[in-house]
């Protein structure tokens, strides 16, 4: 049996036990969350969200790329979101990626050099600050005044808020 078969069974159980019916298209909390795709991050549980309350945009590292800005501008302009929350995390796989080495390995394997950036980083706190700045500078986002960033500690489960003041990371659990 494939994993997809397991997923179908899981879906049947979800429908029987948890499905609440159709929800409005627009997120009820008017918030969009940009987070890493890491499977150790149960975003809805971490943030105390329910289905229908927020848009969730995930990618490797949770970095703000052109495609994330595309998704956020649609979220804001068409779906009414007004707030952006960034969630990076400790022990991120992207901190272990060398841009140059990855490009070289892919070129060797495929004969083509990737045209996109991997956006690797060494410090999730610094990358959250960079992501906040990218969003604040985007002319495509009409709502840039309510952007907050966090680092999720995969070791403890706690969120640490990151501000643009270097070194200021405070626990949201304090």
* Lowest-confidence region among 5-9, 106-110, 113-117, 165-169: 165-169
Residue 168 has pLDDT above 90, yes or no: no
Q: Which residue has the tokens 């990151």?
A: 162
Strands, E assignment, the chain? 31-36, 54-59, 83-89, 147-152, 159-162, 169-171
Asked, for residue 16, whether it belongs to a domain, the answer is no
Give 45-77 pLDDT, tens digit per residue: 999 999 999 999 999 999 999 999 999 999 999
Of 89, 79, 71, 87, which Cα lies nearest the Cα of 138?
A: 71
Q: What pLDDT is recorded for position 172?
A: 47
Asked, for residue 21, whether it belongs to a domain, the answer is no
Residue 12 has pLDDT above 50, yes or no: yes
Q: What pLDDT is recorded for position 165?
A: 79
d(CA 74, CA 85): 16
Helical pair 124-137 and 66-79, crossing angle rounded to 10 deg: 50
Asked, for residue 17, whether it belongs to a domain, the answer is no
Average pLDDT, the chain: 94
CATH number of residue 55's parent domain = 3.40.1050.10
Residue 167 has pLDDT above 90, yes or no: no
Asked, for residue 140, whether it belongs to a domain, the answer is yes
Residue 21 has pLDDT above 60, yes or no: yes
Give 71-105 pLDDT, tens digit per residue: 999 999 999 999 999 999 999 999 999 999 999 99
Give 109-159 pLDDT, tens digit per residue: 999 999 999 999 999 999 999 999 999 999 999 999 999 999 999 999 999
**Number of domain units in the chain:** 1
Q: What pLDDT is recorded for position 174?
A: 39
Asked, for residue 10, whether it belongs to a domain, the answer is no
Asked, for residue 13, whether it belongs to a domain, the answer is no
**Containing domain of residue 76, as a range?**
27-171
Q: What is the pTM of this model?
A: 0.90
Asked, for residue 57, whether it belongs to a domain, the answer is yes
């Amino acid at each position: 049996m494939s994993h997809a078969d397991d997923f179908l069974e899981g879906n049947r159980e979800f429908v029987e036990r948890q499905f609440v019916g159709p929800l409005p298209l627009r997120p009820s909390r008017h918030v969009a969350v940009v987070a890493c795709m890491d499977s150790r991050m149960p975003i809805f549980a971490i943030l105390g969200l329910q289905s229908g309350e927020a848009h969730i945009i995930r990618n490797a590292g949770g970095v703000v790329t052109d495609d994330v800005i595309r998704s956020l501008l649609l979220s804001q302009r068409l779906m009414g979101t007004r707030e952006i929350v960034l969630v990076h995390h400790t022990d991120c796989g992207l901190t272990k990626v060398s841009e140059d080495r990855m490009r070289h390995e892919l070129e060797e394997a495929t004969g083509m050099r990737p045209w996109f950036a991997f956006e690797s980083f060494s410090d999730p706190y610094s990358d959250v600050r960079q992501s906040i700045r990218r969003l604040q500078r985007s002319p495509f986002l009409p709502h840039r005044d309510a952007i907050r960033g966090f680092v999720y500690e995969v070791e403890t489960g706690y969120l640490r808020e990151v501000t643009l003041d270097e070194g200021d990371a405070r626990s949201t659990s304090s």
